[in-house]
Chain A
């Protein structure tokens, strides 16, 4: 029996893998020590668990275990990386380069940097969601301390040319940071080969628990330092104070280990399922994939259905837990800034759905989703005066709408 609604919003968060929970359980119960307690076995057991998690994480992203700074999640990691570099390298310069399609954790942190007197360049993206390397190169200045560009986009799954971006940043003496939230655990991320100096990521996007993440901070070639954003006991090599979330960290470690072992199989299965979903939904006329289809995370697709209104569409696909490009549960209709940055008109941005598949998504669920979306779009179009006009060959842009 298919259980409804079907969860296809795995870019928002993933369910906890039972194997991760199993690994965490002892640290939620009998092994409760503080990893910073050096004087007794309770502390040693906790520290040992944390160190093991560091190794599990390090082998997933090919770094040294000492380069992992545990945080509360990707938002904190983004904040720590950007603000920490801005402060630490203030003598070198005050310029940061990012992109318009970044997550709010990066964009709003950059806005904060601007208030502090920093200068930030927000690179535009093309219709595929990719930044231009030439524009990046042109934006680099001797004052540029940091280039921060996300690995894979949360709304479209678009993967940026990370290695090329890192090379340009390094050529001009800047550090390269990436928000790896959606990519780590989903596609191979190798901080050495990719040239990453700092990377934010989180457990709950890869079947781990919420409330725990990490910032990778390179220790050699070059040795990167960030100014702590929280004062306290000097944990995590002085970069992030606060008692370590031992069960969470154990969960992140286990999630990374599973990701490393199962990534190839998950990717093959999920991309085949995603492609089938996409292929079927694109048989609907006037439907479009948003973002690059070539450079994309394997488990994501974002599709706009023209002549269907976003909120009505969300109501029509009530059996699916998906995201829309529309924030129209509030009175103000604010279409997704990511989709708008790709050049989509407001109405196309509103009428988009994001499907994020997971390790636990089944073929049966995808079959149901295909039928359900097709039915909703078809029904809403039969009800849509815009669809009727389109079918009659009327150019909607030529109509003088009675603005409300």
Chain B
């Protein structure tokens, strides 16, 4: 399969690979996918509680090049966004940016799920109600 230049770039030079301290109250962690499905994404955000802005984002992904690129791109986009802005990221924006073919759209869906799941974790940790939407794709 031919990958787009952007997918190859993110695969070869992934942005923000790593781990944030999930015990910190202002860190939200999302773990989505399953090993037997061939994709597992873990996406983490660190939030400035005063400004409600995402100050750092990290990911680790087990998956194909498109899955790695989707999560790498997601962390790039998350940094500097407010939590509300982050919630508005739609998987189709990732599809467009990375020029994902139809068989790889699920990678972008997984990335969107990972973002929502991380935000949800942050919300729950900080006494806010869980997002309804976080489960919508499952």
A residues contacting B by CB (< 8 A) are 307-312, 315, 328-331, 333, 345-347, 350, 382-388, 396, 401-404
Contact = CB atoms under 8 A, between A and B. Distances in A.
Interface in B87-125: 103, 106, 109-110, 113, 117
Interface residues of B, number: 34
Nearest 9 interchain pairs by C-beta: A401-B34, A311-B64, A385-B42, A385-B60, A315-B65, A384-B62, A331-B103, A386-B62, A347-B35
B74 interface: no
Contacts, number: 88
B118 to A, nearest CB: 13
B35 A401 contact: yes
B41 interface: yes
B68 A312 contact: yes
Interface of B: 1, 3, 11, 14, 17, 19, 31-42, 60-65, 67-68, 103, 106, 109-110, 113, 117, 137-138
Contacts of A401: 33-36, 40
A403 B138 contact: yes
A396 B62 CA distance: 13
Contacts of B113: 402, 404
Contact of B36 (A307, A346, A382): A346
Interface of B (DSSP majority class): mixed
Given A329-B1, A401-B35, A404-B110, A383 B64 contact: no
A382 B17 contact: yes
A309 B38 contact: yes
B32 A402 contact: yes
B61 to A, nearest CB: 6
Contacts of B41: 385
A329 B138 CA distance: 23
A310 B38 contact: yes
Contact of A383 (B1, B17, B110): B17
B3 to A, nearest CB: 7
Given A312-B68, A404-B137, A333 B37 contact: yes
- Counting chain B CB atoms within 10 Å of each CB, the highest count among A330, A385, A396, A403 belongs to A385
Nearest to B30: A402
Contacts of B33: 401-402, 404
A285 to B, nearest CB: 16
Given A383-B68, A386-B62, A388-B19, A315 B40 contact: no
